[in-house]
Structure 1
Amino acid sequence: MKLMLHYTLKNKGLLFFNFICVFGFIIIELGLPTLLSQMIDVGVANNDDAYIKKIGLIMLAVVVVGVLMNISLGYFMSRITTNVTASIRQDLFEKIQGYSHNEYEQLGVPSLITRVTNDAYQIMLFMQNLLRTGFMTPMMFIASLVMVIRTSASLGAYVLVALPFLLIGVVAIARFSDPLSRKQQGNFDRLNNILRENLSGLRVIRAFVNEDFEEGRFGKVNDAFEKSSKNLFRLMSSAQPGFFFLFNTVMAYIIWQGSIQIDAGTLEVGNLIAFIEYIFHALFSFMMFSTIFMMYPRAAVSANRIQEAMDTEPIIENKENGVTTTETNGYLAFDDVTFAYPGHAEAPVIRDATFSAKPGETVAFIGSTGSGKSTLIQLIPRLYDVSEGEILVDGVDVRDYDIAALRQKIGYVPQKAVLFSGTLRENLLYGNKDATDEELYEAIDIAQASDFVSELADGLDTQIAEGGSNFSGGQKQRLAIARAVVRRPDLYIFDDSFSALDFATDAKLRERIDKETTNATVLIVAQRVSTIMGADRIIVLNEGNIVGIGTHEELLKSSSVYYDIASSQLTKEELGQ
């Protein structure tokens, strides 16, 4: 409730008018039976047509005002709930943007998607009912009880007898709905996870003819979600018939007792009609409020899940007043760096890494799969933080930088080329939002992408499908490289970014990059020896340890690990044998 209250109070002005409309609507709703009572007991009883017309016109005016109040209430309620939901989603999205890989793994990407979408939606539904009926029903209930006792205290006693039964039912339903809501949301997370995996891995599923297996896996989780949802909805739907049964029982008994009192002359007909209206508002208000009360556990589960994501602090923190400028550009040094994933300190994936690089140099990394190549370079832009030692960029520990300033120095091309939906221009401008079209085309030319970009009918305005599915793997890699080149950074990081290119394109691309990066430092992670043979320095990794540093020729003689990798890819002539 704290989360919802926090965001609701940001709309104090709208909340004030919402309250005014609720208060006015209550007065109008309870005023009508009072006027009707006077019309019957005074106007009809005395056959006073003028009085009847007068009260009738007043009632008509009250109805018109009531309609306007109800419309206004709906307007202010909608404004508040949409503002609250939009603010929650925006703040949660901004929070998620600051997460490190560790937080994504901890909470899970499918769960985070559910929290931003479905959980925020559940809060919106609850707030809509709360602002419309949650505010109204307590006041309506109290005001109705006052009018009930004022009209006939003896008949009002029967209402008080029914209240404990209503209260017990509400508390019982709320208690049982909480665990069911948690279970339902958990199943929804798993459903979202399987769906996401299925859609992203559709080609693999089809290639291995595993559609039936995936359907079974999805069906199992879907059945669990269906079961938990049925149990929750069954519980909720059982409340209304029970309430109406008690409600109608009380009403029937009051009409019976009221008729006896009218016959005895202790109660007038108009008062009984007004009394029935008051009873209706009192019990119906209680029933509506109980609906809000029963909805609360489900909204509370969603709010707690959102609050958990809000309260999760990223391991990688942006240093206050961090360094934003340096005297030098492009210098890199690893000083005795060790890294282990959070929670696995006993099993570091990088051990005692020490090396340096300077502008104009190309430093390459090679090693067997799982040797720690990608992990090592991901420490530079602080996708992870070192466990021991330090990484210096231009003489400053990366942890002392303002994160944005640090990453602005870097042009990073990950293993998997990622393109976003939108235009080709918008994707390239990720590198530098102020780049001109001329600069974009130059970056495209450097990345050896001119051949296919020039054939696009819309050029830079070509729409990119989700995940870049309208481009091949090699085309996506070249566009991702062009995006990094647009930035003109001090430090280029290519994480196995040439793997989808043919040898000729690979060679041309590296040649252009060498010419264009004479004032920058270039780091290349590669599996192919041919990609890195010309590097100024090659660093060989094996099980997280640096086991060799040197040129291609030097490592062939000094590193058995490098020689084994090279001999598996190159001919004897290329090995110099």
Structure 2
Amino acid sequence: MPKMRSPNNNKTNLNGLWQLAAYLKPYRREAILSWIALTIVVVFDLLIPFLVKNIIDYGISNRDLPYIIKTTIILVAATFMSALLAVTNNIFSIRVAQKTGRDIRSDLFRKVQTLSFANIDQFQTGEILVRLTSDISQVQQVFLTFLRIGTRAPLLMIGSIILLFITSTQLALMMLVVLPVSIFITAFFAVRLQPLFYAVQIKLDRLNSILQENLAGVRVVKAFNRSHYENQRFDGANQELMLRNTRVMQLASILMPLLTLLMNLTTMSVVWFGGVRVIHNTLSIGEIIAFVNYLVTAMFPLTLLAQAIGLVSAAGVSAERILQIFATRSSIEETDLTQSIRKCSGKIVFEHVHFQYEGGNNEETLQDINLIAEPGEMIAILGATGSGKSTLLHLIPRLYEVTSGRITLDGMDIRHIAQESLWQCMGIVLQETVLFSGSISDNIRFGRPSAGINEVQQAARAAQIHDFIMQLPQQYETQVEQRGANFSGGQKQRLAIARAILIQPKILLLDDSTSAVDVETETKIQSTLQKILANCTSFVVAQRISTVLHADKIIILDQGKVAACGSHATLLQTNKIYQEIFNSQLGNGGSQNGTF
């Protein structure tokens, strides 16, 4: 991947396109061939008016039929060669643009994969999707346009101006007035349009974010009968995008008529003054026709630029937005001290750990956490909503970086352990269960693709999902629909648990992973886990106290602090908070299915 700089905050700057142009380098051979073909096309384009002039001045005026036939044959041959080379240019240009777009898209996707949770929190899902699709397509289209007219436009203009002076110096002087005016008008519109296209992309981001949220939560929308509200929200964003687009297109639509007006006025002047010179026999009819053709050819690049100005402006904004992700440094980086670990026993120690989310309300989510988990111990974490349970769990695999303090694994600071090596020690089931499109077996072996079907089934049995799978028509080859829509919440949680078990982790992290499972099934899962993962250190975030009764240590979090730590028996005698939780769920009048 080419080295990327930080994006420019100046929204009228097109340097982002030049930055991304580095992706053209691997395909420079095809790009050069396209430009060579285009250069020859320009030669033929400039030759055609000259041949027409000769046919009129030397063939028609002298009634020289053989000359007319000979020159016409050359003219037709030049036209066919120009068309053939133009097709050649298009073929190579399309190949280069498509390959370049593919490379940018692949590198950007890989960059997103390297970002930490904190980095991803800065971008909405809709924004990332737009940058991976629409923004890259904009840049790709500009590269295609550049390869198709990038050489043709300046060569046509330069060649036409030279031939204009050769044909008639006096008439050509008109171009010294018209050309700078046309360039100024084009540059003026380019500067004005750039920030407007940036505003359009912001509105497009918002529209896509609303769309993504609605599609992901369509069941909630329908369940709460909020379709009308969502329609209004989408229509509002859609209306704002339409108004922004309309404003941009209306401004851009002025440019082309202005350039056409200038060209027509110049053509009229040439015909007028050239006609006077023809009358005085100082200019031939063929020369004035050739002059008009060269004049149109000289103005043609500006016309192309006028048509492409909107595309270039939008692509400049898109390039900056793409570079913004490329320039984002992961908040979790490996250093020179980073090393892999060969063997993991699973001892986890929190030493005065503090954590605060970026861009938050300046309040620490976790404060002075001190905790020791010996190898093979089960650590349960209880607490009210927002007390920091999931956050504490996320710090162990470095999904987020601690603000201060440190976490060690077998005595080594996890910031000094290679991330891949750290993750290989751990199996994790997040609070929000995510399944991928594919078969059930593919989902279970997601963390260990080489696992055999027997191992997959063993993990499924441990997660108490095997019997259900065997009742399906295609059993383990049953296809999982998008986001696991064809499974219940409990079934998805058990599949995720099987996925974590299969990698045989030394550390197992369960973030409220049985909340949608009935108590009986949960008990079976816990019993099986204790047997097959006897030497595995486990951290279990739970809402039901029945989940944690047999934990070696139970941590009570209260407003980001450790309020108590101990076994069930100890806390039941000594800690008021734990006593209240226990009594509300399993004590007098409590239900075993109750949750905190």
- TM-score norm. by structure 1 comes to 0.96
Partners in 2 of 1:303 and 1:16 — Cα distance?
A: 23
Corresponding position of 2:108: 92
Corresponding position of 1:258: 274
- Following superposition, the deviation at residue 94 of structure 1 comes to 1.1
Greater shift in the superposed pair: 137-146 or 340-349:
340-349
Corresponding position of 2:99: 83
Corresponding position of 2:581: 565
- Following superposition, the deviation at residue 320 of structure 1 comes to 4.4
Corresponding letter in the other structure for 1:81 = A
1:520 equivalenced with 2:536 (yes/no): yes
Which whole-Å deviations, capped at 9, do the CAs of 1:490-543 have from their partners, x for residues lacking one?
A: 110000000000111111111111111012111111000001111122111111
1:142 aligned to which of 158, 162, 166: 158
Partners in 2 of 1:574 and 1:167 — Cα distance?
A: 81
Alignment of 1:243-322 (within 5 A): 243-320=259-336, 322=338
Greater shift in the superposed pair: 255-264 or 399-408:
255-264
SS at match of 1:105: helix
Corresponding position of 1:507: 523
CA contact (8 A) 1:431 1:485 kept: no
- Following superposition, the deviation at residue 398 of structure 1 comes to 0.8
Partners in 2 of 1:343 and 1:228 — Cα distance?
A: 29
Greater shift in the superposed pair: 378-387 or 247-256:
247-256
Question: Are residues 439 and 320 of structure 1, via their aligned partners in 2, closer, same or farther at CA, if it must alter by over 3 Å?
Answer: farther
1:432 aligned to which of 408, 426, 448: 448
Greater shift in the superposed pair: 331-340 or 503-512:
331-340
SS at match of 1:524: strand
Partners in 1 of 2:47 and 2:440 — Cα distance?
A: 64
Which whole-Å deviations, capped at 9, do the CAs of 1:170-195 have from their partners, x for residues lacking one?
A: 12211221221111111111111111
Which whole-Å deviations, capped at 9, do the CAs of 1:148-204 have from their partners, x for residues lacking one?
A: 111111221223322233223212211221221111111111111111121222222
Corresponding position of 1:498: 514
1:152 equivalenced with 2:168 (yes/no): yes
Alignment of 1:452-471 (within 5 A): 452-471=468-487
CA contact (8 A) 2:256 2:306 kept: no
Partners in 1 of 2:355 and 2:103 — Cα distance?
A: 37
Corresponding letter in the other structure for 2:476 = L
Greater shift in the superposed pair: 252-261 or 20-29:
252-261
Which whole-Å deviations, capped at 9, do the CAs of 1:35-92 have from their partners, x for residues lacking one?
A: 2222222233333333222222222222222111101111111112112211211111
Partners in 2 of 1:559 and 1:467 — Cα distance?
A: 41
Corresponding letter in the other structure for 2:65 = D
SS at match of 2:299: helix
Partners in 2 of 1:395 and 1:507 — Cα distance?
A: 33
- Following superposition, the deviation at residue 293 of structure 1 comes to 4.3
Question: Are residues 296 and 491 of structure 1, via their aligned partners in 2, closer, same or farther at CA, if it must alter by over 3 Å?
Answer: same
Alignment of 1:52-63 (within 5 A): 52-63=68-79
1:237 aligned to which of 231, 249, 253: 253
CA contact (8 A) 2:349 2:407 kept: yes
Corresponding position of 1:188: 204
Partners in 2 of 1:510 and 1:293 — Cα distance?
A: 64
Greater shift in the superposed pair: 254-263 or 68-77:
254-263
Partners in 2 of 1:441 and 1:515 — Cα distance?
A: 16
CA contact (8 A) 1:319 1:401 kept: no
In structure 2, stretches of 5+ residues that fail to align are: 1-16, 592-596
Question: What is the CA RMSD across the aligned residues, in angstroms?
Answer: 1.8
Which whole-Å deviations, capped at 9, do the CAs of 1:10-35 have from their partners, x for residues lacking one?
A: 32112211210121110011111112
Corresponding letter in the other structure for 1:323 = Q
Partners in 2 of 1:82 and 1:508 — Cα distance?
A: 54
Partners in 1 of 2:510 and 2:274 — Cα distance?
A: 86
SS at match of 1:568: helix
Greater shift in the superposed pair: 549-558 or 249-258:
249-258
- Following superposition, the deviation at residue 211 of structure 1 comes to 1.8
1:403 equivalenced with 2:419 (yes/no): yes
Corresponding letter in the other structure for 2:249 = F
Which whole-Å deviations, capped at 9, do the CAs of 1:295-329 have from their partners, x for residues lacking one?
A: 33221111111111111111111234622124442
Which whole-Å deviations, capped at 9, do the CAs of 1:363-422 have from their partners, x for residues lacking one?
A: 111111111111001001101111222111122111001111101110000011100112
1:544 equivalenced with 2:570 (yes/no): no
Greater shift in the superposed pair: 489-498 or 152-161:
152-161
CA contact (8 A) 2:252 2:310 kept: yes
Partners in 2 of 1:204 and 1:36 — Cα distance?
A: 71
SS at match of 1:266: coil
In structure 1, stretches of 5+ residues that fail to align are: none
Corresponding position of 1:209: 225
Alignment of 1:288-437 (within 5 A): 288-320=304-336, 322-343=338-359, 346-437=362-453
- Following superposition, the deviation at residue 222 of structure 1 comes to 1.2
SS at match of 1:191: helix
SS at match of 1:434: coil
Partners in 2 of 1:239 and 1:344 — Cα distance?
A: 46
SS at match of 1:566: helix
The size of the alignment, in residue pairs, is 575
Partners in 2 of 1:99 and 1:327 — Cα distance?
A: 27
Question: Are residues 482 and 327 of structure 1, via their aligned partners in 2, closer, same or farther at CA, if it must alter by over 3 Å?
Answer: closer
Partners in 1 of 2:75 and 2:397 — Cα distance?
A: 71
CA contact (8 A) 1:320 1:402 kept: no
CA contact (8 A) 1:44 1:52 kept: yes
CA contact (8 A) 1:443 1:485 kept: yes
Partners in 2 of 1:305 and 1:86 — Cα distance?
A: 17
Partners in 2 of 1:321 and 1:270 — Cα distance?
A: 79
CA contact (8 A) 2:138 2:311 kept: no
Corresponding letter in the other structure for 1:103 = N
Corresponding position of 1:451: 467
Corresponding letter in the other structure for 1:124 = Q
Greater shift in the superposed pair: 538-547 or 196-205:
196-205
CA contact (8 A) 2:255 2:306 kept: no
